[in-house]
Amino acid sequence: MTELLKLEGIVINKFDIKESDRFLKIFTPNMGKIDILIKGIKKSKNRDKIAADVLSYCKIIAYKKNGNFIGSSIELIEDYEFIRKDLDKVGIILYMFSILNNTLNDWEQNNELFQFLCKSLKYINKEEKKYKYITLLLCFMNKIIVLEGISYILENGKNFSIEHSYVGKTEYPNSFLLSEEEYKIILAIKNRKIKNLLKNKINIKYLFNILEIYEKYLNYHLEIKLNVKNYILEEITW
């Protein structure tokens, strides 16, 4: 008897194969990232195609055949409509998904990160102020830094050394000199005091400068190749 697998998760990547089939990369709360083959989805008239697309929270019933999980049914739970309608938000979310695809191994369970992602998607879906959801992206990146065990030391000083995992007064070679505003943002993120930070509008330029530093930090310590410029349209004014 074929054992059925029932799961829920967020589609963070997809790979179309043949004329009508699609592999979905699903991030789930209990099993981490898994691949599921959805047969005939591109030509189906009855099945929910949005459920089998990136950025969908879906429910799937699957079975295992020849080493692959095959989806026998797929149902949409949440499509994050207002993210899909906003190119700025789409770019931010796809970048978050690229971080997950680059940092997590398949079948690496991380319920804490899954719940954080769900809350982030819900927040960004409703939030209209760009500086707020970019700040959330930085919190997400810091969450990855913490969970991957590569946290940096934060002292009273504005030199950020990626190589030495250090922010403080010591000026190591190739350190980034933070502005007063950038230091306050990093301090708030590190100490989880975001609500106070967001009471006043933040210059997006400072947020993007920190984003680039965090990206370099993750690339250096995890030996990956994140590139935010692949996901942010040129015409978007930071």
* Residue 47 pLDDT: 59
The verdict on 124 and 211 lying in the same domain is: yes
CATH of the domain at 120: 1.20.1440
In a domain, 219, yes or no: yes
Q: Which of 38, 54, 78 is the last residue of a domain?
A: 78
| Residue 55 vs residues 133, 146, 152, 162: alpha-carbon distances, Å | 16, 24, 31, 31
Burial track 4-25 (b if 16+ CB lie within 10 A, e otherwise): ebebebbbbbbeeeeeebbbbb
The verdict on 196 and 174 lying in the same domain is: yes
Residue 236 neighbours by CB under 8 Å, 6+ apart: 87, 88, 91
* Residue 238 pLDDT: 43
Residue 18: which domain range? Answer: 4-78
- Residue 173 CA to chain centroid, in angstroms? 30
Q: Is 222 exposed, middle or buried (0-12, 13-18, 19+ CB in 10 A)?
A: middle
The verdict on 126 and 154 lying in the same domain is: yes
The owner of tokens 């709360």 is 29
The length of the chain is 238
CATH of the domain at 45: 2.40.50.140
The verdict on 100 and 129 lying in the same domain is: yes
* Residue 68 pLDDT: 85
In a domain, 236, yes or no: no
- List the one residue out of 113, 114, 133 whose CA is nearest residue 124: 133
The verdict on 104 and 179 lying in the same domain is: yes
The verdict on 198 and 131 lying in the same domain is: yes
At CA 178, angle to CA 177 and CA 183, rounded to 5?
Answer: 150
The verdict on 74 and 27 lying in the same domain is: yes
| Residue 142 vs residues 16, 20, 38, 100, 145: alpha-carbon distances, Å | 32, 38, 34, 13, 5
Would you give the end-to-end CA distance of the chain in angstroms? 55
* Residue 46 pLDDT: 58
The verdict on 47 and 103 lying in the same domain is: no
* Residue 235 pLDDT: 44
Per-residue pLDDT tens digits of the chain, which is 238 residues long: 567 889 999 999 999 988 888 999 999 999 999 999 998 887 776 557 889 999 999 999 999 888 889 998 999 999 999 999 999 999 999 999 999 999 999 999 999 999 999 999 999 999 999 999 999 999 999 999 999 999 999 999 999 999 999 999 999 999 999 999 999 999 999 998 988 888 889 999 999 999 999 999 999 999 999 999 999 865 444 4
The verdict on 33 and 151 lying in the same domain is: no
d(CA 202, CA 77): 33
